[in-house]
């Protein structure tokens, strides 16, 4: 392994750094999005049923027990409704915007690193080709295949590493965007269903 790293040179080390960032961001974001969507549908059904029965305190307690954007939206809606319900939908939208920003955090960085890795791989290819041309110029006409091996290895290793890192990064980004969209769709569904359920729950008179 160290032999390949030495042959690839500084450019290969840079590509490996990109691959580490890509793997870290994919793992971190995948875990966060998974936690955000965990049992969201079952939770929403429980909240809506509690509100339809008029058990507002039970619904609020359920929100406290569950993590994720949907429970936070539901809790904001319930609190606003209990204070008069003048901007129940607005309270949920405010929370939703913050949570969507948290879901999409670092996705642009992941895409940028995925785009950078193949460019670095191409740079390594150019460096390797330049080394081969230097050998040809300095040792011609007595050039042996082994004299060109270092430049060729550098070109191939950096190209392979850059393309592989870019492919993993692009796939991870597409996967995470798809999962974030699913959570956002769940949040939109929750927004509609919670508003409909709260419409049948009496509001408390606003405090003076």
pLDDT for res 60:
81
Judged against a pLDDT cut of 80, whether residue 101 lies above it is answered with yes
Judged against a pLDDT cut of 90, whether residue 1 lies above it is answered with no
Task: Write the DSSP string, 120-179.
Answer: HHHHHHHHHHHHHHHHHHHHTTS--HHHHHHHHHHHHHHHHHHHHHHHHHHHHHHHHHHH
Domain boundaries, the chain: 2-198
Highest mean pLDDT among 3-12, 18-27, 39-48, 142-151: 18-27
Q: What is the pTM of this model?
A: 0.81
pLDDT for res 204:
58
């Amino acid at each position: 392994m160290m032999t390949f790293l030495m042959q690839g040179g500084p450019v290969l080390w840079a590509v490996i750094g990109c691959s580490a960032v890509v793997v870290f961001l994919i793992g971190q974001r995948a875990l966060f999005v998974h936690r955000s969507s965990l049992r969201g549908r079952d939770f929403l059904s429980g909240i809506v049923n509690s509100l339809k029965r008029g058990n507002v305190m039970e619904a609020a307690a359920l929100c406290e027990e569950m993590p994720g954007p949907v429970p936070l939206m539901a809790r904001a809606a319930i609190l606003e409704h209990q204070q008069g319900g003048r901007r129940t939908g607005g309270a949920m939208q405010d929370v939703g915007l913050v949570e969507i920003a948290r879901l999409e955090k670092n996705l642009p960085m992941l895409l940028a690193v995925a785009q950078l890795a193949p460019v670095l791989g191409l740079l390594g290819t150019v460096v390797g080709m330049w080394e081969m041309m230097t050998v040809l110029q300095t040792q011609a006409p007595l050039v042996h295949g082994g004299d060109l091996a270092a430049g060729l290895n550098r070109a191939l290793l950096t190209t392979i590493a850059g393309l592989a890192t870019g492919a993993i990064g692009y796939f991870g980004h597409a996967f995470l965007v798809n999962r974030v969209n699913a959570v956002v769709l769940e949040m939109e569904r929750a927004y509609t269903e919670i508003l409909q359920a709260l419409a049948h729950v009496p509001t408390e008179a606003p405090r003076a």
